[in-house]
Chain A
Amino acid sequence: MKRSERVEAVPPSGIRRFFELAEEKDEIISLGVGEPDFSAPWAARQAAIDSLERGRTSYTANRGRRDLREAISRHITRYDLDYGPDEEILVTTGVSEAIDVAMRALIDPGDTVAVAQPSYISYVPTVMFAGGEPLPVPTFPEDDFQLTFEALEDAGAAEAEALVFCYPNNPTGAIMDRTSLEAVAEFVRDHDLTVLADEVYAALTYDGDHTSIATLPGMRERTIVFNGFSKAYAMTGMRLGYALGPADAIDALNRVHQYVMLSAPTTAQFAALEALRSSDDEVERMRDQYDRRRQFVLSRFDEIGLDCFEAKGAFYVFPEVPGDDEAFAEDLLQEQDVAVVPGRVFGEGGRGHLRVSYATGLDDLREAMHRLEAFVREQEITL
């Protein structure tokens, strides 16, 4: 069948090939997973079950249930964000949908969209599906993978219409401190960019509190903030996220959303409402677990002798490896049955690194790091 040029222009996900390699092996330990190893809080699951028992299986309002939007509006005050439930919040089918509809609602064909990289793999394709031109902006280990004014300038982002980034970051685990965010905000204001800030890992910040760029002076009116339930509440399969922004922007997102999605999954909305109502302790408990594993993995990389900056968010670390990251990851999988994701699949600046997810129990983490160490030692001998 004829396939559209738009689709043909987007290469298949680099993660896909690795997934297929990993699937060929049994009994691997995977540190390649981009989702929590916990299950959704029981109260949230129970709320979903209750809603089904009561037969609540119809569509909701396009923008999501009013009570859920009210709860989100209250919840986000913890990040000093203030968005009203009626016009400034859109509930979506995961952050993924929110990003897609935002690109389509805000980007014209030919518009340039700067994408901070390494980053989650869907930003570039969604820009392209919207007819925009992605412009990679690299981040560097020497900056702890924070986005900088200089990198934006050097990449030519001044000409872009919009900038998309994700902090705490997948795949690096980097966070943006306030000073670095201020520099980015200055660039964005100077060149009149729209910001798409994916903050889905905001609750998983291990050193101080998460700062949203939308809270900086002059930024609210030019920023869409994305957050959701997948990571903090371990609800990936429920597919529920939301976008926050000025009323005219959210109205534009909703215009796409109402035609392509109608409304986010109803069952998931009930689960999310309960998660916001009662699951702070549960989130904190998971966060503590991640933090311990984070410190464990960072210590082990230090002992193994691979450079790894101190990731302070999400559930990833991003060590440097000698030589080619893809070959390293492939050999590690074949020889030691440990799966990680080569950094290059996340774009500019990812080469020579591995994404190592610590959303895995400590027993498996310990064993995987043991094997990784053995693998590195063996390589050192053959070098």
Chain B
Amino acid sequence: MDDRRKVLELLRENARYSTEDIARQTGLDAEEVADIIGALEADGVVRGYMAVVNWDELDENHVEAEVELNVELDRETSYREIAQRIAKFPEVSTLRLVSGEYDFVADLEGESMHDISDFVADQIAPIPEVTQTVTHFVMTTYKERGIMLETEDDDERLSISP
């Protein structure tokens, strides 16, 4: 694996690793790591850093849903244009074009089921190219972006062993 890939791999594992800690794990020096991260950002490979949140641990209303979207394209409209229109809403956290029965799948976030229903009804469904929406409310998230949201079992190993 080249150095750039190694650094990327570590950032994907934990974007809060300090430059020094990445250096210590890869045998690079901290300055090289900083340069690589700078280049990854400048080249648009790394687009951002976010926390993975277990909303159940917060005393807040938070609802997520996945919406399947069917669209009908015409000569003047491409997937890309429709995607841009949908992606601009802050309620949409993820938007993907997928293969299979429907065209897009959008992840939505809101404070209540009502919020999300309204959003789909008022903002998404009226888009002329959208022919059908199917909304799935998320009931439980077990794992997100490689991170388990349930606390895993404690280390059961003996504290000292030969």
Contacts and interface: CB of A to CB of B under 8 A. Distances in A.
Contacts of A30: 159-160
Contacts, number: 54
A23 B159 contact: yes
B161 A300 contact: no
B24 A300 contact: yes
B157 interface: yes
Contacts of B25: 292-293, 295-296, 362
B27 interface: yes
Size range of the chain A interface in the assembly: 20 to 34
A299 B24 contact: yes
A15 B162 contact: yes
A292 B159 contact: no
Contacts of A299: 23-24
18 contacts: A15-B160, A15-B162, A19-B158, A22-B160, A30-B159, A30-B160, A33-B161, A34-B162, A35-B157, A121-B162, A292-B10, A292-B26, A295-B24, A295-B26, A295-B27, A296-B21, A362-B14, A362-B25
Of listed B14, B21, B157, residue having the most chain A CB within 10 A: B157
Interface string B1-21: 000000000100010000001
Task: Pick from B155, B158, B160 the residue with the most CB of A within 10 Å.
Answer: B160
A344 B24 CA distance: 28
A309 interface: no
A170 B162 CA distance: 9
A328 interface: no
Interface size class of B (residues with CB under 8 A): 10 to 19
Contact of A35 (B14, B23, B161): B161
Interface in A15-40: 15, 18-19, 22-23, 28, 30, 32-35, 37
A299 B27 CA distance: 8
Nearest to B10: A292
Interface of B: 10, 14, 21, 23-27, 155, 157-162
Interface in A115-134: 120-122
A120 B10 CA distance: 33
B162 A366 contact: no
B21 A22 contact: no
Interface in A136-160: none
Given A293-B25, A295-B27, A296-B24, A37 B159 contact: no
Interface of A: 13, 15, 18-19, 22-23, 28, 30, 32-35, 37, 120-122, 170, 292-293, 295-296, 299-300, 339, 341, 362, 366
A37 B157 contact: yes
Nearest to B156: A237
B162 A13 contact: yes
A33 B157 contact: yes
A22 B158 CA distance: 10
Contacts of B14: 362
Given A28-B159, A120-B162, 10 more contacts: A13-B162, A19-B159, A33-B157, A34-B162, A35-B157, A37-B155, A121-B162, A299-B24, A339-B160, A362-B14
A32 B155 contact: no
A293 B21 CA distance: 10
Contacts of A121: 162
A170 B155 CA distance: 22
Contacts of A295: 24-27
A121 B25 CA distance: 30
Given A37-B155, A292-B26, A295-B26, A15 B21 contact: no
